[in-house]
Amino acid sequence: MLHDPAFYVTAIIAVMIVGIAKGGLGSGVGIVGVPLMALTIAPARAAAIMLPILLTMDLFAMRAWWDRWDRENLRTMIPGGVLGTLIGWATFRMLSADALRLLVGALACGLSLAWFLRRTEPARKPPSLARGTFWSTLAGFTSFSIHAGGPPTQVYLLSQQLDKGRFQGTTVAFFFMLNWLKAPMFAWLGQLDFDNLATSLVLLPLAPLGIWIGRTLHDRVDERLFYRIIYASLLLIGAKLIYDAV
């Protein structure tokens, strides 16, 4: 088990942000979890430690958002998500620690800059088999590699301008399926060893707490302010990871 105090500072913040996002404030900001933890440990190990915590969060989130999902979107997104997860599994060992830091950092910086530079909301688009498959496949790949499948999912679902509850329920159901699919694949890759699982267990009590806070704040918090803080932090974290990788 890890004993570095600096790791636990970043890990506690990361787990709470991810839990609050899954609980009701948009799972896209959950991308900050692995980059934040990767400031103190290797990205692959950060992803492995985070996975059991995500599985626990998914159980609580599914209970909180049961039957609020959009079935038409899920019928398109789940096959793409499975395909992307399989691609991530097949290519996982091809990426070095620095390559993963560069990937995480570039994605973090790109997404945060895109959020800050966006001036208008996109025009409403209906569900689409082609777009849904593309974005969900990308979500499956980035979700397997670094648990960062939220942003591609948001690109697809936000363009439909779903109501906040249906959007949250759909993302919760989609990532419930993806994360439980990833578990045996991470085990096969040797990522769920005793040390990583013991570290996950220490952080696990934060999972239901984060979900509860997110569900409670869903209709009460200024989401724009919340996103602004998260994406500003994400930009700084991404820049630091790129610097370390280069």
Q: Around Cβ 228, how many Cβ atoms within 10 Å?
A: 13
Domains of the chain, residue spans = 5-245
Residue type, 120: T
* Alpha-helix runs per DSSP H in the chain: 5-20, 33-37, 43-64, 71-91, 97-117, 129-146, 150-158, 164-188, 194-203, 206-217, 223-245
Per-residue pLDDT of the chain (246 residues; tens, 9 = 90+): 667 888 899 999 989 888 887 777 655 566 777 878 888 888 888 888 988 998 888 888 888 788 888 898 999 999 999 999 999 899 887 877 677 678 767 877 887 787 778 755 556 778 888 999 999 998 898 888 777 777 778 778 877 877 777 887 888 899 899 989 998 998 898 888 888 899 999 999 998 888 888 878 766 767 677 667 667 776 877 787 788 778
